[in-house]
Structure 1
Amino acid sequence: MPTEALDVDRFRAAATGLLTSHRITLPRGRTPDSFRGLVQMARVGDIGVIHLRQGVDVDVEILEPIDYYDVMLAVSGSSTIEAAGTRSGRTLIDPSHAALLSPGMSASMRMDSDYGQLHLRIERQTVDRVLEAMLGRPAGDPVLFDVALDLTSGGGRSWRHLAAMVFEDMTSGDGLTAHPLAARSWQDALLSGLLAAQPGSHATALDDRVRGRPHRRQLSRVLDFCEERVADPIGVVDMAEVAGISTRALQRMFREELGSTPTAHLQGLRLSRVRSDLLEGASETVTDVALRWGFTHLSRFAAAYRARYGESPSQTRRGGSV
């Protein structure tokens, strides 16, 4: 349902609830009465599609690093964005160019009065799931995309056409994107296309997959060992022994092949097992489930779980028991 925010405060509150906290600055000489905003929200699968308009030139500053992916598209007009802590400089957003912020980024934007914007809010775990399916193995560290997304050529142009088809179907209200069993296929098509089209930290791994480069035998043995012994008190030394290499060589192999570390990979497997048990309504306490899957430092476990899934283990447990 659309949410009309006819003044800047209501607009900011509505947009913050759907995206993240931000500061809006009106140009000199403009009063808050000149602001006429609109906020609309829809979903395709797990992707949030947020449509925003403000009706006046504004500067916007994202106040905290985001914890999701944000694809910013222009319906009309234009904007520029500068992501903090990157070398991308100012990126243009217009009908031919988009911007993509990754988790951990913040930014400042300058929007013209005609700028109508679409934000695709995509959670990290959703991107991880699609990338893992494309790679045929765990994804490793979170993907960091390049900020500027060219929609005029190559994969970017194809992705723009796909996105336009999805948005057109959404506006009909009775299309396939409204069907709960079909929406996930649309979502995955958008995400796999984005991963294939947009450069980022995942690009080398995808290229290796396309070229059919085999994983090292040692890595395959270690990954199988971790799966089989995930609940046992194993560590880097045990993994190196299974691979028949030094711990330093093991660390290098994980970094080159998975973009991660042996410890982070094992922790990810254990967190996944804990989450599955909690979602299935395990009768044990959260502590018992964590201990069963190899976590002995419970405060570190809780922090790692929240960092990966964006909620506490107790929140997952309550959600899974509904």
Structure 2
Amino acid sequence: MSPSSSHAAQRATSIEQLLQGSERLLFASSDLDETRLRVGGVMQSHRLGLGRDVETLDARMYHVGFGEVTLSRLRYGATVTIDPDPLENFYLVQMPVAGGACIQSNGLGIDSDTRLASVLNPDDEVRMRWLAGNDQLMLRLSRSLVERTLVGLLGHPLDEPLRFDLGFRWREQAAWRCLLDYLADCAVQCPDLVQNKLVLSSLEQLAASVMLSSHRHNYSRASPARCGAVLPRHVRRVQDYLQAHVHEPITIDQLALVAGSSVRSLYAGFRDFLGVSPMSYLHALRLERVRAELVGGDARNVTGVALRWGFSHMGRFSSDYKRRYGETPSQTLRRNG
């Protein structure tokens, strides 16, 4: 075996072993309802059924979170059918390391196996059948993170929702395999990583950038407006600050101080690299926080959530929310309440 072949074999072995430590075990159960609730708490609400009555459920899930990126490993032990609600707020990459699954999404279908992953988009209508023995790595990336990263690469707002192709030959993408290993290493070596906001933000952007460059989507052929994918330091500094202080009152002069630049330079940096103004970026972040609370199912009323995130003009807030998400805040609350 050549050195390169040996290295590839070692890399493949490491992928098969990712995320199996007992410290990352989220749950183990043979109860169908408990399994559905525990998986739904990490992913999305769904209907779960045994595909064959003669088989016994033996579910096990491992999980680690990195802010807007999470890595999980899930097996059911038995053949199961899964009908998830639309993911809405995230993209999901499902990578079998053993066994296979039949994935139906928006009229398309694939037989996913250890070479072919499935990528689910936020608004997809999905039906799945995981076969007995199927064991999958699952990388979840928030919709906001991936869309922000793409806007930064393109240099202008998106004309239509970002959609990835359903089938993804993930093992053929070296950068993607390295990303998985890196995330697994971070989980073991840096258990307090989530406390370091700046490092965490860089990791999130790395994951989104690798996803966008490794797998085909409807913007794959679009030409970036700027040759560099890395944001200028003063733009990145303000972006990180807004992420950490989104719940606080913020002015443009305050952001200029954070950036260490003039207001004019700050506006120009955001416009050229993110396609929006700093305050529009903040507005979008706050809308995302509102939606996350409404989708989470714990909110009691829209007004309280909106006020908590700085929206005092309910009419304008509702209009902006519907324009972005295609439904009113009240409709989101009723559907998830």
TM-fit CA distance, 1:286? 8.0
In the other structure, the counterpart of 1:41 is 63
In the other structure, the counterpart of 1:236 is none
In the other structure, the counterpart of 1:249 is none
1:21 is the counterpart of 2:45: yes
In the other structure, the counterpart of 2:167 is 148
For the 8 Å contact 1:125–1:309, the answer to whether it is kept is: no
Whole-angstrom distance in 1 between the partners of 2:28 and 2:80? 18
In the other structure, the counterpart of 2:190 is 174
Gapped runs of 5+ residues in structure 1?
213-264, 316-322
TM-fit CA distance, 1:149? 0.7
1:88-125 superposed Cα distances (whole Å, 9 cap, x missing partner): x3223233211111111021122222211122222211
1:31-78 superposed Cα distances (whole Å, 9 cap, x missing partner): 6xx11111222112311222211111222222x222021111123222
Q: CA 1:170–1:301 in structure 2 vs 1: closer, same or farther (change >3 Å)?
A: same
Q: CA 1:134–1:311 in structure 2 vs 1: closer, same or farther (change >3 Å)?
A: farther
In the other structure, the counterpart of 1:200 is 217
Larger radius of gyration: 1
1:303 is the counterpart of 2:322: yes
Whole-angstrom distance in 1 between the partners of 2:286 and 2:194? 27
For the 8 Å contact 1:44–1:184, the answer to whether it is kept is: no
In the other structure, the counterpart of 2:121 is 102
In the other structure, the counterpart of 2:104 is 82
Q: CA 1:194–1:9 in structure 2 vs 1: closer, same or farther (change >3 Å)?
A: same
Whole-angstrom distance in 1 between the partners of 2:41 and 2:288? 27
Q: 1:165 aligns with which of 181, 191, 202?
A: 181
TM-fit CA distance, 1:160? 3.0
Secondary structure in structure 2 of the residue aligned to 1:55: coil
Listed as ranges, the matches of 1:231-270 within 5 Å are none
Secondary structure in structure 2 of the residue aligned to 1:61: strand
TM-fit CA distance, 1:211? 8.1
Whole-angstrom distance in 1 between the partners of 2:288 and 2:78? 47
For the 8 Å contact 2:321–2:327, the answer to whether it is kept is: no
Q: How many residues end up aligned between the 2 structures?
A: 243
Whole-angstrom distance in 2 between the partners of 1:134 and 1:160? 18
For the 8 Å contact 1:42–1:49, the answer to whether it is kept is: yes
TM-fit CA distance, 1:130? 1.0
In the other structure, the counterpart of 2:204 is 187
Secondary structure in structure 1 of the residue aligned to 2:221: helix
Whole-angstrom distance in 2 between the partners of 1:159 and 1:60? 30
Secondary structure in structure 2 of the residue aligned to 1:51: strand
For the 8 Å contact 1:159–1:194, the answer to whether it is kept is: no
Q: 2:283 aligns with which of 270, 273, 276?
A: 273
Secondary structure in structure 1 of the residue aligned to 2:212: helix
Q: Which moved more, 1:40-49 or 1:99-108?
A: 40-49
TM-score w.r.t. length of structure 1: 0.63
In the other structure, the counterpart of 1:65 is 86
Q: CA 1:285–1:102 in structure 2 vs 1: closer, same or farther (change >3 Å)?
A: closer
C-alpha RMSD over aligned residues:
3.9
In the other structure, the counterpart of 1:231 is none
Whole-angstrom distance in 1 between the partners of 2:310 and 2:87? 32
In the other structure, the counterpart of 1:217 is none
Partner letter of residue 168 of structure 1?
A
